[in-house]
Amino acid sequence: MKNKEYLLIPGPTPLSEEVYEALGQEIIGHTDPRFIKIYKHAIELTKELFRTNAEAYVISGSGTLAMEMAIVNTVSKGQRLLVISHGYFGDRFVPMAEAFGIEVDVLQAKWGEQVSVEQVVHQLKKHDYKAVTVTHVDTSTAVMANISQLIPVVKRAGALFILDGVCASAALDEDMSKSYGGAENKIDIVLTGSQKAIGAPPGLAIIAFSEQAVAARESMEQIPAYYTDIKNWRKVMEDPGAYFATPPVNLIYAYESAMKLVLEEGMEARVERHDKYGKAIRRSLHAFGMRSLAKEEVAAPTLSCILYPEGIDDKEFRRRLQVKGIVVAGALGELAGKAFRIGHMGNTTPEMLEYTIRQMAVVLEEMGHKVSVGAALKAFREVLAVETV
């Protein structure tokens, strides 16, 4: 691995050799048949990842652009959107939808907890919602949504199910062909970015639409968007030689390469691997006397939000870790200074995580907090060693 630092933040994440190699290939024209082939393949792999035969879009932008693309193509001004929020990124849908004149209601969980399914059922009875947004993993709180319970509830209410997968896609199951308690109860939109569990550089907005979501766009005439209107991009996705706006050639090389690796490993293996990483890293950090913000039942496989023990200064802790070549992120909002966030997704390996545990032990000791590195490593290895069938 080329990465000299362990970039254990919730995105961007470490890149594999293959992806660096792809990124640095000679630039060619975006209508060159050699590029068209790669772009086409990248779009096909995206459909394969989400198991959809309907539509996928891969364009320049970040995860936020994909969020905007999801709502602007499905919900009209004056229609209602319900936002289920487990933190900062869930909340982001609110001002975004308001900017387009959409009527927004939001169900916010206490940070570290999930919105209850009963609350969602209750809210869905109050109004006719065109769509509901759910953040698969909210990167501020490291809380994972329980989509298998939410999908049937949302679909029975006649709303589109929009899933923000920016910190989950390629690590958690987001199979758009799967039915949840009824044939019609499927995910309508998954949106994501390139730089988190997929393991490509930042810069791509990625989104898949079900047939029902496509139909929602078709039933709207004009929408208050141009760059993010899927109607402008459709011809490019069908034939990447067509022009709408110049695609980021080298990023597409890198994304295609990262997606090949994702699908070679396979989603089943990736879901299991991330699940183990999450459990293992949290068990080991708990052995240091630290606590996770989220309860284990709702804690994400891709990153963790860990509360500091009494007396540990956030900036100093992270500065000392960075000197040892490990980068973790601070916490957001009210938690800033009280917790740190550690990513364990994509190309992160058990070796990287073990090294991190060792170095964290050193830093905690340096800062006057006595810990047992042996107990933490033992906890980590025990979880990884569990055979899953």
Task: Count CA atoms within 13 Å of residue 84 on its CB side.
Answer: 34
In the region spanning residues 28 to 87, those forming contacts with ligand PLP, defined by CB under 6 A, are 62-64
What's the closest the beta carbon of residue 174 comes to ligand PLP, in angstroms? Answer: 12
Residues 117, 151: contact at Cβ < 8 Å? no
Residue 135 within binding range of ligand PLP, rule CB under 6 A: yes
Between CA 49 and CA 60 the distance in angstroms is 19
Q: How far from each other are the two terminal CA atoms of the chain, in whole angstroms?
A: 30
Q: Could you tell me which residues come within 8 angstroms of residue 294 by beta carbon, excluding any fewer than 6 positions away?
A: 112, 113, 141, 142, 143, 144, 300, 304, 305
Please count the residues of this chain forming the interface with ligand PLP, following the rule CB under 6 A: 13
Residue 139 within binding range of ligand PLP, rule CB under 6 A: yes
Binding mask 238-277 toward ligand PLP (x if CB under 6 A, else -) reads ----------------------------------------
Tell me which stretch binds ligand PLP (CB under 6 A): 77-85, 163-171, 255-263, 368-376. 163-171
In the region spanning residues 5 to 24, those forming contacts with ligand PLP, defined by CB under 6 A, are 10-11
Strand partners for 81: 104, 131
What's the closest the beta carbon of residue 138 comes to ligand PLP, in angstroms? Answer: 6
Residues 331, 111: contact at Cβ < 8 Å? no
CA neighbor of 175 nearest in space, from 166, 165, 293, 167 = 165
What's the closest the beta carbon of residue 169 comes to ligand PLP, in angstroms? Answer: 10
Between CA 123 and CA 125 the distance in angstroms is 5
Residue 201 within binding range of ligand PLP, rule CB under 6 A: no
Q: Which is nearer to ligand PLP, 283 or 341 (CB)?
A: 341
Residue 255 token pair: 């994304």
Judged by CB under 6 A, the residue of 55, 91, 164, 188 near ligand PLP is 164
Binding site for ligand PLP (CB under 6 A): 10-11, 62-64, 89, 135, 138-139, 164, 166-167, 193
